[in-house]
Structure 1
Amino acid sequence: MKTNILVVDDDKGHLSMLGTILGGWGYDTDSAMDGGEAVSAVKERPYDAVLMDVRMAKVSGIEALEEIKAYNPAIPVLIMTAYSSVDAAVEAMKLGAYDYLTKPLNFDELKLTLERALEHKRLSEENRHLKEAVSAGQSLAGIIGTSPAMRAVVEMVKVVAPTEATVLITGESGTGKELVARAIHANSVRKKQRLVTINCAALSETLLESELFGHEKGAFTGADKRRDGRFMQANKGTIFLDEIGEISMPMQAKLLRAVQEREIQRVGSDSVQSVDVRILAATNRDLKAEVEAGRFREDLYYRLHVMALKLPALREREDDVPLLANFFLKRFAEKNRKAVKGFTPLAMDMLIHHAWPGNVRELENTIERAIILSMGEYITEKELPPALVRHYEQDAPAETGNGHLGGQPLEDVQKLAILATLEQTGGNKSEAAKILDITRTTLNNKLKKYGM
């Protein structure tokens, strides 16, 4: 879809000329002869930008600007003015104009300013969408992600959370299985009651039985009083059985009764107690394969597998890496009192193209480490783990046109770096120069040299 620009000028010749030039740059244009027409046009059609003269006979550009920004504050408005009317341009900037250009127009400057305004609008919209995504994710107890794979997870959580169904959450280590369990509980009818979690892999069989079901006084050495187990602690609420695939076959038989009948028996007791709990379980194992191998009870598997929710590995949703990285950056920058604003383009490219065998947990640890090591406003490749950087550099020569810069002329690499950095900063040259570690004058010289 082409970008739509509204050009406003009461000089027919100038209006026609601008329409021709912008059309040659690939833009669709509409024209208006005064500010009143411009306001009406903006209300009728969603333009990507407005290029408008200040001085017009009927309704001035200043008046039109005020109405346009009141109707749609997000639309960038570029003001054109003669040298003698710079004061009007300054007033326009105060009223929300994106930038101003002096007549006679420098068309290279016009092109660059227009591209920057459109990119700024795009980044603003993207930022708004990301904030909405983060907000939506946090409403589901912190689930963050806009990739198709994570949207599917969020939709499944919304479906299963209000029910009483037992849910089996699977996925590699570090993918956020406990986070999803918390999201399910937080959006269930039991959310005002307790969510009790237990890592089944962290305890021996004897201790696990006592932890799950409780014990009577004297049931074993050290049992000096009767104690409720996790199932009873979770009564009326939810119990989350993490690493369920690690428990022994004898323990699986004892757990089956609790899952199937919602009945438990304390260690050392002859009586049975009923409990009202919702059961969530998680594992990084393929339980179906474990059943076929004789290491997991089939009847318990099907009791747990009422609803299944598989979490994708981070390498399967690399679109979420920037969102997650910036989320962790903000958290750890505040925690460590560091004024870190973001990532350099190269550092972010390294994060995006890493395989992340440890998934989100590994990414979180990587960002926390980078924040602690950082001495500047932006995370660079110097703060990333050496192994991550080595893998990136080894892969780079084999990749061309996919985000890596290897195998290209130095001048092209510099162009790409400058463009990427200007995109990141929304066209702010001072900020871009700081990230690139060059002066603003050097940046301007390079922009002229490369015809950018």
Structure 2
Amino acid sequence: MYKILIYDSFEATRASVVSALEDRCELTCIANEIEFQAEIRSRQFDLIFIDIDSINDQSVVLLSQIHTKDPFLPIIITSKSEKAEIIVQAMNAGASDFLIHPISPTRINIAVDKALEIRDQRFEIAYHRRTQDVVYDFRDVVAYSSSMQKILKSLERFAKTDSTILITGDTGTGKSFLSGTVHFNSPRRKKPFVKINCANIPEDLLESELFGHEKGSFTGADKQRIGRFEQASGGTIFLDEIGEMNMRLQTKLLRVLEEKSFERVGGNKTIFSDVRIIAATNKDLVQQVETGLFREDLYYRINVLPVTLPSLRERRECILPLADLLLKKCCASMHRDIHGFTDEARKLILEYEWPGNIRQLANTIERAVILEDDRKIHTYNLALPKKTLRQQVAAARPAVAGEEPGVPEPAESLAEREKELVLRVLEECLWVQKNAAKKLGISPRALNYKVSKMGITHPHWRRNKKVG
């Protein structure tokens, strides 16, 4: 049974609401503001009725106060007044509905059902948002290092503008996450947010994906297709791995930035699209400009507001808080009852280099949650070597006078380089050989042969387990 609070100083109008709802709801009636404030502080309600004739036109202030404490709480305003100005003010302040006396029982019930349905939808949206790979509030971003705090302050300022942002940094540092945070804190937050990874789409299909195509423009184009730039009109488009885009597409993108217009593939109709662009790459675009792989004029157009994200090893203060957050999220999605890491596991997580950054940390924790049988994650389920191969080479090689310490020489032979590559890819793929083989571009059988030949082992591989 829904709990509804009714704030109305007039017996006749209050009675009409009570008679319409008393059979289906638990009602609490209040006649003055002091009692009303006491009730909303001490109890939880599903919906509130407020008669603005009882509160001397202070409905906007009261609505703001209530929604500050509970933004999802539906509030229905009632009044004898039909002034458009009052109705508009109340609705803009967040009222779910505005009912004018006399009100029929049917109208009251429809308003209540609609308000509660919208509330449930907002609950569902909030739930799905928590499960998505986007952080919607800058305050929720894990940033304990001073470098990351400075970056968040910059991004918060940049979010309020329409200028193009270029986010650079290693793979897995959170470029995609933060692009969403920028969008959902910008004036375009109610418009579409479209993400596209330029590296994941074949070069000959990327133009159609971005700009759409007309029917019959190429083999297989049996109908017109709307591109991502049209889909994102009025909102934000995130172009991940923009450094992978070929020169022809770069020219077309430059025109979109300068004129906010383009044509679909195979079409001659100019389409205008007001889109804010956030680009990201893990490549050195300056070097690509120098080698002729990236247009210099496009680089300057997307580099209006540059941001470089530090690698995870450069923000060690964030590693354990991130690990705790990712563990909590992973346990919630898998319905596992795991409460943190052992002291040894926390030490290993903190000291590891994390070449794959946050993405590798998330994948490692996900795998550990699947494997763990205890209430805490142990080191053997993290599947991390005590030292990376690079660290082992650096530690074993004697230091040379005048040489910077800790910088290893390149592997002396192709065999050593190949083994280093295989180890790194296996590590990134959480030691799942099938996935590693796909990433290396070889068959699982070929990888299995190389692993045996190189003497690479792992505790969780079946062939390494003793048969007792």
1:196 pairs with one of 174, 182, 194: 194
1:349 corresponds to: 347
| C-alpha deviation, 1:370, in angstroms | 1.2
Residue 315 of structure 1 contacts residue 359 of structure 1 at CA under 8 Å; is this kept in 2? Answer: yes
SS of the residue 2:338 aligns to: coil
Cross-structure match for 2:214: 216
Q: Which moved more, 1:386-395 or 1:150-159?
A: 386-395
Q: 1:325 aligns with which of 323, 326, 329?
A: 323
Aligned-partner Cα distance in 1 for 2:354–2:385: 12
**Alignment deviations for residues 88-137 of structure 1 (CA, whole Å, 9 cap, x no partner):** xxxxxxxxxxxxxxxxxxxxxxxxxxxxxxxxxxxxxxxxxxxxxxxxx7
CA RMSD for the aligned pairs? 2.2
The answer to whether the 8 Å contact 1:141/1:179 transfers is no
- Counterpart Cα distance in 2 of 1:262 and 1:174: 31
Q: Tell me which residue corresponds to 1:311.
A: 309
- Structure 2 residue identity aligned to 1:220: F
Counterpart amino acid of residue 309 in structure 1: V
Question: 2-side partners of 1:185 and 1:149: how far apart?
Answer: 22
Q: Which residue of 2 aligns with 1:235?
A: 233
Q: Residue 387 of structure 1: CA displacement?
A: 2.4
* Number of residue equivalences: 261
Summarize the alignment of residues 284-433 of structure 1 with structure 2, pairs less than 5 Å apart. Answer: 284-388=282-386
2:203 to 180, 189, 205: 205
In structure 1, what is the equivalent of residue 67 of structure 2?
A: none
Match of 2:248 in 1: 250
Task: Describe the shift of the 1:281–1:390 C-alpha distance in structure 2 as closer, same or farther (beyond 3 A).
Answer: closer
TM-score, normalising length from structure 2? 0.53
- The one-letter code of the counterpart of 1:379 is I
In structure 2, the residue matched to 1:57 is: none
Q: 1:337 to 1:204 in 2, by over 3 A?
A: closer
- The residue that corresponds to 1:166 in the other structure is 164
Following superposition, the deviation at residue 336 of structure 1 comes to 2.3
Whole-angstrom CA distance in 2 between matches of 1:141 and 1:214? 37
| Superposition pairs of residues 6-21 of structure 1, within 5 angstroms | none
Alpha-carbon distance in 1 for matches of 2:140, 2:208: 32
Structure 1: tracts of 5 or more residues without a match:
1-136, 399-452
Task: Report the CA distance between 1:146 and its aligned residue.
Answer: 1.4
1:148 correspondence with 2:146? yes
Q: Is the 8 A contact 1:216 1:268 kept in 2?
A: yes
- Following superposition, the deviation at residue 334 of structure 1 comes to 2.1
> Partners of 1:392 and 1:343 in 2: how far apart?
26
- 1:314 corresponds to which letter in structure 2? L
**C-alpha distance in 2 between matches for 1:159 and 1:269:** 39
Q: Is 2:181 the partner of 1:183?
A: yes
Q: Is 1:354–1:392's contact at 8 Å kept on the other side of the alignment? A: no
Query: In structure 1, the residue corresponding to 2:279 is in which secondary structure?
Result: strand
- Residue of structure 2 equivalent to 1:51: none
Q: What do the CA deviations read for 1:396-451 (whole angstroms, capped 9, x no partner)?
A: x99xxxxxxxxxxxxxxxxxxxxxxxxxxxxxxxxxxxxxxxxxxxxxxxxxxxxx
Contact 1:145 1:323 in 2 (8 A): no
Distance apart, 1:140 and its partner CA: 2.5
Asked whether the 8 Å contact 1:232–1:275 carries over to 2, the reply is yes
Q: Quick one: distance in 2 between partners of 1:303 and 1:184?
A: 19
| Contact 2:136/2:185 (<8 A) preserved | no
Counterpart mapping for 1:112-151 below 5 A: 139-140=137-138, 143-151=141-149
Q: What displacement does 1:175 show?
A: 0.5
Worse-matched range after superposition: 159-168 or 253-262:
253-262
Where has structure 1 moved over 4 Å in runs of 4 or more? Answer: 388-395
Distance apart, 1:335 and its partner CA: 2.2
Residue number among 281, 284, 290 corresponding to 1:283 in the alignment: 281
> Which residue is 2:224 aligned to?
226
Q: Displacement of 1:283 after TM fit?
A: 0.4
CA contact 1:191–1:237 (8 Å) conserved in 2: yes
Corresponding residue SS for 2:219: coil
Per the TM alignment, residue 344 of structure 1 is displaced from its structure 2 partner at its CA by: 1.5
- % identity of equivalent residues: 47
TM-score, structure 1 length as denominator? 0.55
Structure 2 residue identity aligned to 1:325: A
| 1:148–1:141 CA distance, 2 compared to 1 (3 A) | closer
Contact 2:368 2:381 in 1 (8 A): yes
Distance 1:262 1:298, change over 3 A: same
Separation in structure 1 between the aligned mates of residue 390 and residue 360 of structure 2, nearest angstrom: 16
Query: Alpha-carbon deviations, 1:127-167, whole Å to 9, x = none?
Result: xxxxxxxxxx7623853221112111211111100100100
